[in-house]
């Protein structure tokens, strides 16, 4: 349930409500908005009579959350969740583009790609060091050496870094290098990992599983939120359907659906969503037009020789061009996007 306090409720009254909820067996999460405090009560193995709370002083209303996801729901928190990652504001008016290679491969590749995405207006560097590959014989990532290369490039270009953590045992090392921890599609229901990430205080970018419903995806975010980490970004990256022309089917309709159900920021990954670099820009444009709070895009300085996901990685010139297009689309729907001047040289392929 959600307990909405009166605007002028005192701290003492709030604490009395919290104590009552704890006695009733609930886990309590406070959300202090611009005008009032809302208290989310989840769990409640020994569910008590909600009237015991309704009658307490300072309580305006007790609302039952009917969705199976509680802390992720708009009922618990009406305002969009906005938070800072370094000096990058996630979930605000500005559409944030995270870009970089699928995997860190070498110092030169990471540096060149980071420089290119920064120049084009990306606000966060992406790159994998621990790679979840369908085949155990494919390139598995450089591990901690990859993290070092990515961190150095991120620092050099003044960008925060998002990188994947595949297993709970990797959290300790990944948090030392990353600003945002990515949970890959294949791990969306790795509940042990999600629970451990709930204990960290770094933002989590949670990809949608390849065959996950929106409800399952939101329930996965709930594992992180319930641990006390409220900084979760949901990332739509395509789901598996009968269509085989594209690698996955990017579910653009998930954007308005999730934006209505949840206060969490919604990002879109059109690279894994399509698997083909010629389809990345149209889907990125569509995602921004549909209200995405940000994008996660694979860019490589030499995609034809990439060790992973080369076919879906954009050339820097294509990415630059896409950013210029997004600068036209974003304001049309009341959003902004990085306006740093871009050197417009040979847009080419």
Residues in region 84-123 near ligand PEP by CB under 6 A? 102
DSSP three-state, residue 264: coil
When binding is defined by CB under 6 A, the residue of 91, 184, 270, 316 that contacts ligand PEP is 184
Binding flag, residue 247, ligand PEP (CB under 6 A): no
Minimum Å gap between C-beta 163 and ligand PEP is 9
Minimum Å gap between C-beta 271 and ligand PEP is 7
Candidate segments 54-62, 179-187, 274-282, 341-349, binder of ligand PEP by CB under 6 A: 179-187
Among Mn ion, ligand PEP, none, partner that 227 touches (CB below 5 to 8 angstroms by kind): none
Phi/psi zone of residue 125: left (φ > 0), alpha (ψ -120 to 50 degrees), beta? beta
When binding is defined by CB under 5 A, the residue of 4, 17, 42, 102 that contacts Mn ion is 102
Binding flag, residue 224, ligand PEP (CB under 6 A): no
Minimum Å gap between C-beta 58 and ligand PEP is 45
Candidate segments 138-146, 178-186, 215-223, 286-294, binder of ligand PEP by CB under 6 A: 178-186
Write out the two tokens for 234. 């949901």
CB nearer ligand PEP, residue 91 or residue 184: 184
- Name, in order, each residue with C-beta under 8 angstroms of 51's C-beta and a sequence gap of 6 or more: none
Give the x/- contact pattern for ligand PEP in 191-210, rule: CB under 6 A.
----------------x---
Closest CA to 122 of 335, 313, 294, 284: 294
By beta-carbon distance, which residue lies closest to ligand PEP? Answer: 184
The upper half-sphere exposure of residue 65, i.e. CA atoms within 13 Å in the direction of its Cβ, equals 25
Among ligand PEP, Mn ion, none, partner that 184 touches (CB below 5 to 8 angstroms by kind): ligand PEP
Residue with structure tokens 């990954």?
269
Candidate segments 57-65, 143-151, 165-173, 181-189, binder of ligand PEP by CB under 6 A: 181-189
CB nearer ligand PEP, residue 70 or residue 237: 237
- ∠ CA 29-87-103, nearest 5°, is 95
Measure the CA–CA gap between 48 and 240, rounded to whole angstroms.
42
Measure the CA–CA gap between 99 and 217, rounded to whole angstroms.
23
Measure the CA–CA gap between 304 and 293, rounded to whole angstroms.
30
CB nearer Mn ion, residue 251 or residue 309: 309
Give the x/- contact pattern for ligand PEP in 253-282, rule: CB under 6 A.
----------------x--x----------
CB nearer ligand PEP, residue 121 or residue 184: 184
**146 neighbors 103 (Cβ within 8 angstroms):** yes
Minimum Å gap between C-beta 128 and ligand PEP is 5
Among ligand PEP, Mn ion, none, partner that 321 touches (CB below 5 to 8 angstroms by kind): none
Among ligand PEP, Mn ion, none, partner that 185 touches (CB below 5 to 8 angstroms by kind): ligand PEP
Residues in region 129-148 near ligand PEP by CB under 6 A? 132
**326 neighbors 97 (Cβ within 8 angstroms):** yes
Q: Produce one character per residue of 246-265: b if its CB has 16 or more CB atoms within 10 Å, e if not.
A: bbbebbbebbeebbebbbbb
Cα 297 off chain centre by: 13
Cα 293 off chain centre by: 9
Measure the CA–CA gap between 45 and 27, rounded to whole angstroms.
10
Closest CA to 171 of 135, 132, 202, 134: 202
Give the footprint of ligand PEP on this chain (CB under 6 A).
102, 128, 132, 184-186, 207, 237, 269, 272
């Amino acid at each position: 349930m959600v307990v909405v306090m009166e605007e002028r409720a005192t701290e003492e009254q709030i604490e009395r409500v919290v104590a009552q909820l704890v006695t009733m067996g609930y886990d309590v999460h406070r959300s202090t908005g611009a005008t009032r405090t809302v208290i989310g009560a989840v769990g409640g193995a020994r569910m008590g009579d909600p009237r015991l709370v309704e009658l307490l002083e300072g309580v305006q209303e007790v609302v039952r959350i009917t969705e199976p996801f509680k802390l992720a729901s708009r009922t618990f928190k009406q305002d969009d969740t906005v938070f800072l990652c370094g000096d990058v504001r996630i979930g605000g008016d500005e559409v944030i583009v995270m870009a970089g290679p699928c995997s860190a491969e070498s110092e030169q590749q990471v540096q060149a790609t980071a420089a290119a995405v920064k120049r084009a207006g990306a606000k966060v560097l992406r790159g994998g060091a621990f790679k979840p590959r369908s085949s155990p014989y494919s390139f598995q990532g450089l591990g901690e050496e990859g993290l070092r290369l990515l961190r150095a490039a991120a620092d050099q270009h003044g960008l925060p870094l998002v990188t994947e953590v595949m297993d709970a045992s990797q959290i300790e090392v990944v948090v030392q290098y990353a600003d945002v921890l990515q949970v890959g599609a294949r791990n969306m229901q790795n509940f042990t990992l999600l629970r451990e990430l709930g204990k960290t205080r770094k933002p989590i970018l949670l990809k949608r599983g390849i065959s996950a419903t929106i409800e399952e995806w939101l329930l996965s975010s709930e594992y992180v939120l319930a641990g006390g980490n409220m900084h979760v970004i949901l990332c739509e990256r395509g789901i598996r359907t009968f269509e085989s022309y594209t690698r996955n089917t990017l579910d653009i309709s998930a954007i308005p659906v999730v934006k209505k159900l949840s206060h969490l920021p919604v990002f879109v990954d059109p690279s894994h969503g399509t698997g083909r670099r010629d389809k990345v820009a149209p889907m990125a444009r569509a995602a921004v037009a549909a209200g995405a709070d940000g994008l996660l895009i694979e860019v490589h300085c030499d995609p034809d020789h990439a060790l992973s996901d080369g076919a879906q990685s954009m050339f820097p010139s294509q990415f630059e061009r896409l950013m210029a297009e997004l600068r036209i689309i974003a304001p049309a729907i009341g959003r902004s996007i990085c306006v740093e001047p871009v050197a417009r040289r040979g847009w080419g392929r």
